[in-house]
């Protein structure tokens, strides 16, 4: 399940970055909605699709055990494993590392499902509150719409066929515009988009890109509604925009609703006043197909004869149920450590702890069968058996410490002594650690918090250092991924030194996971300031041809810290480093971060850009370079078209010709037949007609 969740997270991150780079600024809002919904569904569906082995980029490891499938009878199958290299030292090493990984995996699984439960309950709570308000508050029936009257400062919103609004807050014109706006949300079923995004968050709560994705979906729905309202009503755009400013409020309703959100007000106003996208830019949407195919080939399991059944059986054997309090032990002494494997006699399940120090045991029986034990706060394991040289075996029994569990109950931690005792023992949970958490201000502690925290050796000093560094409202659930990623006070100070003020645990987790440090953030900000300075200088000098820079100046909007954070993560994912930016600026090419990410994804280089500008075309926009590169258009291709004798030949015209297959050879053939047109557009029309 964890592997599936990670695969979903990777695909969702890729789809978000694709939308952010290529589609976010396009005004094809219905198409954007379709893409966002489709990619969300595909993110959860694609990892489940097996692909033919020859299509998969995943290769079978040479050290993978060879499996033999032997048919015993018509109803039963027995699977045996034969390692490729069957030597005792290698087997012991493999088992040792394997069981260590399993214990850590168990901790991750517990933490994941704990998060799913929390966010799932939050989703159900929000849904219950909305349903209660829908039918408990007074309402007016307006056809299929129910206008529910609310009080207080809550912003207007809609859910299903309900519109929630305080009619006493607004004048009649503003009230009417709000109702029209929310009716469009209801008519187009936008609530279901939000519900789907919220459900995705329940299972992808750990993925920062899932939160960005949900916000992108909500933003696009608002853009779509604004555009629909202004296109199909008599409302004056200026009046409507003023109404948005009046209505936006900081008291936001539940996240399951479509609502007036102050945080995206600036974006909505800019989008309403932006130039409509050219139909020629729809080629960008087709690029999502190869991206998804790459994910399928890279992540999905290849299909081979008999492999599915074998993997299922092996996976079932590798699932570890609750650690048994009784069973058999096998041990190997290595230098100053003892590696002990525990086996459940009844279920046949194998377990392993981290290596024990040899000094933790006294009087190990060697000559004859004897008893030795290991005690910890949670209880004592009594081993019966003997060692023969460096190896030993026997039986074991765990006895829980009643005083320890009484202590946990007194501290408000609900546990089951029989089921949880061995888990606490294996994770080395101590009374002192629980007391430390209490001193740190954590009063509501659960065993699901204690197990991963103790397993990862979280200390009171570590928690105190994080709080002192600025994470005052740090939850126990935040500490788990912070510790797993080795986020410490020094890292927090490093990030703060870059100028970030609103540092949260979730942002630190994302930054650390992406390998982003303070230097990267500083360099990114310096690069942006340099870019802005160059833009201002160019504007002051008023060059004759400045298509690219004018486009950037007109589109420039001050972004808040959250947007800057998203941009930093995206730049790191795309490896947009200051050195990479310098390769463009050093030759006089100045592009924004968004433009550079789009160009990097398609392999647009400074040399490629200069090859066109050297033809006397002036400064071309990033959109021109991106569209040309996507079509495989080169400067030589442009020259071939120029040789055909066109007096006026723009890049847009050549891009159109390349996209439709109107090649120089095709044009030459038409010229020989007597079709001598002054512009290339006429030849494109002929090509399209011939295809029809």
pLDDT at 157: 87
Residue-by-residue DSSP string for 209-275: HHHHHHHHHHHHHHHHHHHHHHHSS---HHHHHHHHHHH-BSS---TTSEE-BGGGHHHHHHHHHSP
Maximal C-alpha separation, the chain: 106
195 with 339, same domain: the answer is no
Percent of the chain beyond pLDDT 90? Answer: 17
Least confident of 8-12, 165-169, 308-312, 476-480: 308-312
Model confidence over 119-172: pLDDT tens digits? 999 899 989 988 888 888 888 988 899 999 888 777 788 888 999 988 888 888
Q: Which residues contact 215 (CB under 8 A, 6 or more apart)?
A: none
CA nearest to 374, candidates 329, 415, 322, 335:
329
Q: Is 339 a member of any domain?
A: yes
Cα dihedral 257→262→264→268 (10° resolution): 100
CA nearest to 47, candidates 297, 361, 403:
297
Inter-residue contact 375 to 348 (CB < 8 Å)? no
Q: Is 613 a member of any domain?
A: no
Coil, helix or strand at residue 361: coil
Q: Is 620 a member of any domain?
A: no
d(CA 230, CA 514) in angstroms, rounded, equals 41
Confidence of residue 323 (pLDDT cuts 50, 70, 90): low
Residue-by-residue DSSP string for 385-441: EEEETTEEEEEEEEEE-HHHHHHHHHTT----HHHHHHHHHHTT--HHHHHHHHHTT
Rounded to the nearest 10 degrees, the angle between the axes of helix 635-642 and helix 651-660 is: 100
Which residue, of 455, 483, 509, is where some domain finishes? 455
d(CA 309, CA 554) in angstroms, rounded, equals 59
d(CA 220, CA 193) in angstroms, rounded, equals 11
Model confidence over 249-281: pLDDT tens digits? 444 455 666 666 555 666 777 777 777 877 777
Q: What single-letter DSSP state applies at residue 574?
A: T
Burial of 66 (0-12, 13-18, 19+ CB in 10 A): exposed
244 with 334, same domain: the answer is no
268 with 339, same domain: the answer is no
267 with 343, same domain: the answer is no
Neighbours of 47 (CB within 10 A): 20
> Rounded mean pLDDT of 454-483?
88
Question: Interior CA angle at 687 toward 681 and 688, to 5°?
Answer: 90
138 with 276, same domain: the answer is yes
258 with 338, same domain: the answer is no
Q: Which residues contact 603 (CB under 8 A, 6 or more apart)?
A: 629
Model confidence over 654-678: pLDDT tens digits? 888 887 888 899 889 888 888 888 8
Q: Cα 400 vs. chain centroid, distance in angstroms?
A: 41
254 with 347, same domain: the answer is no
Q: Which residues contact 74 (CB under 8 A, 6 or more apart)?
A: none
Q: For the stretch 511-541, what's the b/e string if a residue is b when 16 or more beta carbons lie within 10 angstroms of its beta carbon? A: bbbbebbbebbebbeebbeebeeebeebeee
267 with 359, same domain: the answer is no
Per-residue HEC secondary structure of 431-473 comes to HHHHHHHHHCCCCCCCHHHHHHHHHCCCCHHHHHHHHHCCCCC
Domain total in the chain:
2
Distance between the two ends of the chain, CA-based, in angstroms?
49
Cα–Cα distance list, 137 to 131, 148, 159, 176 (Å): 10, 6, 14, 20
CA nearest to 185, candidates 162, 201, 166:
162
Which residue, of 221, 249, 281, is where some domain finishes? 281
Residue 305 has pLDDT above 90, yes or no: no
Residue 530 has pLDDT above 70, yes or no: no
Strands 162-165 and 145-149: parallel
User: Which span out of 62-71, 375-384, 418-427 was modeled with the highest average pLDDT?
Assistant: 375-384
d(CA 570, CA 443) in angstroms, rounded, equals 38
What tokens does 506 get?
A: 């979730």
236 with 357, same domain: the answer is no
Q: Which residues contact 295 (CB under 8 A, 6 or more apart)?
A: 10, 11, 14, 46
Least confident of 95-99, 375-379, 478-482, 531-535: 95-99
| Tokens 């209505």 -> residue | 247
pLDDT at 255: 63
| Tokens 């607004």 -> residue | 170
Residue 559 falls in which region: left (phi positive, over 0), alpha (psi -120 to 50) or beta: beta
Q: For the stretch 296-310, what's the b/e string if a residue is b when 16 or more beta carbons lie within 10 angstroms of its beta carbon? A: beebbbbeeeeeeeb
d(CA 73, CA 53) in angstroms, rounded, equals 30
Q: Is 514 a member of any domain?
A: no
> Rounded mean pLDDT of 343-360?
69
Q: H or E element: which one contains 145?
A: strand 145-149
Q: In 81-159, where does DSSP find H-type helix?
A: 88-136
Residue 331 has pLDDT above 60, yes or no: yes
Q: Give residue 184's domain range.
A: 106-281
User: Which span out of 60-69, 108-117, 246-255, 308-317 was modeled with the highest average pLDDT?
Assistant: 108-117
Residue 295 has pLDDT above 70, yes or no: yes
Question: Can you name the residues that pair with 327 across neighbouring β-strands?
Answer: 396
d(CA 27, CA 13) in angstroms, rounded, equals 22
> Rounded mean pLDDT of 28-40?
91
376 with 271, same domain: the answer is no
Question: Interior CA angle at 10 toward 6 and 16, to 5°?
Answer: 140
CA nearest to 267, candidates 24, 553, 501:
24
Q: How many helices (H) and strands (E) does the chain have?
A: 30, 16
Least confident of 53-57, 179-183, 290-294: 53-57
195 with 336, same domain: the answer is no
| Tokens 């060059």 -> residue | 543
Q: Is 387 a member of any domain?
A: yes
What tokens does 289 get?
A: 């197909």
Neighbours of 408 (CB within 10 A): 22
Inter-residue contact 638 to 663 (CB < 8 Å)? no
Dihedral sign for Cα atoms in the order 562, 564, 570, 573? negative
> Rounded mean pLDDT of 382-399?
90
Q: Is 348 a member of any domain?
A: yes
Q: Is 8 a member of any domain?
A: no
pLDDT at 36: 93
Which residue, of 397, 429, 455, is where some domain finishes? 455
Q: Is 83 a member of any domain?
A: no
389 with 444, same domain: the answer is yes
């Amino acid at each position: 399940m964890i592997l599936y969740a990670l695969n979903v997270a990777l695909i969702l991150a890729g789809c978000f970055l694709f939308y952010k780079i290529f589609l976010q600024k396009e005004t094809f809002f219905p198409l954007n909605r379709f893409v966002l919904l489709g990619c969300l569904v595909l993110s959860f569906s694609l990892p489940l699709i097996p692909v033919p082995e020859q299509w998969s980029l995943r290769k079978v490891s040479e050290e993978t055990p060879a499996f033999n499938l032997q048919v015993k009878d018509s109803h039963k199958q027995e699977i045996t494993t034969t390692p490729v290299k069957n030597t005792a030292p290698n087997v012991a090493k493999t088992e040792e590392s394997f069981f260590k990984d399993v214990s850590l995996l168990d901790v991750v699984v517990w933490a994941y499902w704990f998060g799913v439960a929390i966010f799932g309950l939050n989703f159900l709570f929000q849904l219950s509150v909305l349903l209660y308000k829908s039918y408990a508050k007074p309402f007016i029936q307006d056809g299929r719409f129910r206008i529910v009257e609310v009080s207080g400062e809550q912003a207007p919103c809609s859910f299903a066929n309900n519109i929630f609004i305080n009619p006493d807050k607004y004048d009649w014109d503003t009230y009417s515009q709000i109702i029209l706006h929310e009716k469009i949300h209801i008519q187009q079923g936008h609530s279901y988009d939000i519900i789907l995004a919220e459900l995705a968050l329940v299972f992808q709560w750990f993925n920062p890109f899932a939160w960005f994705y949900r916000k992108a979906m909500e933003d696009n729905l608002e853009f779509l509604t604004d555009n629909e309202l202004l296109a199909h009503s008599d409302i004056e755009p200026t009046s409507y925009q003023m109404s948005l400013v009046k209505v936006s409020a900081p008291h936001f309703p539940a996240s399951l609703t479509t609502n007036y959100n102050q945080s995206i007000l600036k974006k909505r106003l800019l989008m309403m006043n932006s130039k409509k996208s050219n139909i020629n830019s729809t080629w960008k949407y087709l690029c999502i197909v190869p991206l998804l195919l790459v994910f399928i080939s890279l992540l999905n399991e290849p299909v081979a004869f008999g492999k599915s059944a074998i993997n299922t059986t092996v996976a079932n054997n590798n699932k570890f149920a609750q650690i048994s309090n009784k069973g058999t032990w096998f041990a190997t002494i290595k230098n100053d450590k003892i590696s002990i494997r525990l086996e459940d006699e009844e279920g046949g399940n194998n377990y392993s702890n981290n290596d024990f120090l040899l000094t933790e045991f006294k009087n190990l029986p060697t000559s004859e069968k004897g008893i030795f034990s290991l005690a910890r706060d949670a209880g004592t394991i009594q081993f019966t058996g003997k060692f023969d040289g460096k190896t030993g075996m026997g039986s074991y029994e765990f006895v829980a410490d009643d005083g320890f569990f009484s202590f946990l109950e007194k501290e408000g931690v609900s546990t089951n002594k029989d089921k949880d005792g061995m888990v606490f023992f294996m994770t080395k949970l101590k009374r002192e650690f629980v007391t430390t958490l209490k001193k740190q201000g954590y009063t509501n502690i659960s065993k699901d918090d204690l197990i991963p925290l103790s397993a990862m050796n979280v200390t009171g000093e570590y928690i105190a250092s994080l709080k002192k560094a600025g994470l005052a409202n740090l939850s126990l659930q935040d500490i788990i991924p912070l510790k797993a990623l080795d986020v410490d006070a020094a890292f927090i100070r490093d990030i703060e030194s870059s100028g970030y003020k609103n540092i949260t645990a979730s942002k630190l987790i994302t930054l650390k996971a992406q390998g982003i440090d303070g230097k990267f953030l500083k360099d990114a900000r310096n690069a942006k300031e340099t870019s802005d300075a160059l833009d201002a200088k160019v504007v002051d000098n008023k060059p004759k041809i400045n298509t690219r820079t004018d486009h950037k100046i007109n589109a420039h909007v001050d972004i808040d810290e959250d947007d800057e954070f998203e941009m930093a993560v995206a730049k790191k994912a795309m490896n947009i480093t200051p050195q990479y930016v310098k390769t463009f600026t050093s030759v006089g090419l100045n592009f924004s971060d968004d433009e550079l990410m789009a160009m990097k994804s398609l392999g647009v280089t400074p040399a490629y850009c200069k090859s066109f500008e050297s033809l006397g075309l002036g400064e071309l926009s990033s959109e021109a370079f991106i569209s040309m590169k996507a079509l495989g258009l080169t400067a030589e291709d442009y020259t071939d078209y120029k040789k055909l004798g066109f007096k006026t030949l723009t890049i847009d015209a050549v891009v159109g010709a390349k996209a439709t297959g109107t090649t120089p050879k095709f044009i030459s053939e038409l010229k020989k037949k007597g079709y001598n047109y002054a512009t290339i557009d006429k030849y494109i029309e002929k090509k399209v007609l011939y295809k029809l």
